[in-house]
Amino acid sequence: LICPNCHKVIDDQPNTYTVEKLHEVKSQHEKWVIESTEKEVINVTFAELNVVTKFLISGQFEPSTSYELLIPPREKIRKNELSASIEQLITMGMTQVRQVSSYISKSPDVEFGDRLSKGFVAEYERLKTEEKLRGDDLFNALLDFASGKSNDFKNRAAGLAVLVYLFERCDVFEK
């Protein structure tokens, strides 16, 4: 997706902006996003998790049941038709799963983790049923949700850590 101004520039120059060129630009942008997130994911602290999780639980959600890890992440990635680039993001997020778990377990609000999970599950179901999203599109939409649609890579990295924590626990995505 591009802004209306860029859309016009591209449409007015079809010989310059070929399908191949647009795919190349998209690929370079995706690479930049992954590299930028990778640089920040190792810096995620309780402060970033606090910002992200407060946003996520701002709605009123009922507690959900907890799940244990039912299948290995690689099988789950394949079953949910996630691409290699999403697998790379999940691998990055896995580096902070213990941090997220520690943050949630130390919360004085004993229902915090359940409300957080319930909020994600509700958004996951909405994206699947109303938006009809699947695979990478679904994962990316949940990452936007997790990071409050922030363009700040530290917030996105914290959102990724929370999303992957819930992915690993099988709270979101097919088991």
**Predicted structure pTM score:** 0.66
* Cα–Cα distance measured from residue 25 to residue 29, given in angstroms and rounded to the nearest whole number: 6
Report the SS3 class of residue 32. helix
Burial of 34 (0-12, 13-18, 19+ CB in 10 A): middle
Say if residue 42's pLDDT is above 70. no
Say if residue 122's pLDDT is above 70. yes
Average pLDDT, the chain: 80
Of 144, 149, 171, 146, which Cα lies nearest the Cα of 158?
146
Q: Which token pair is 159?
A: 């959102």
Strands (E), 81-169: none
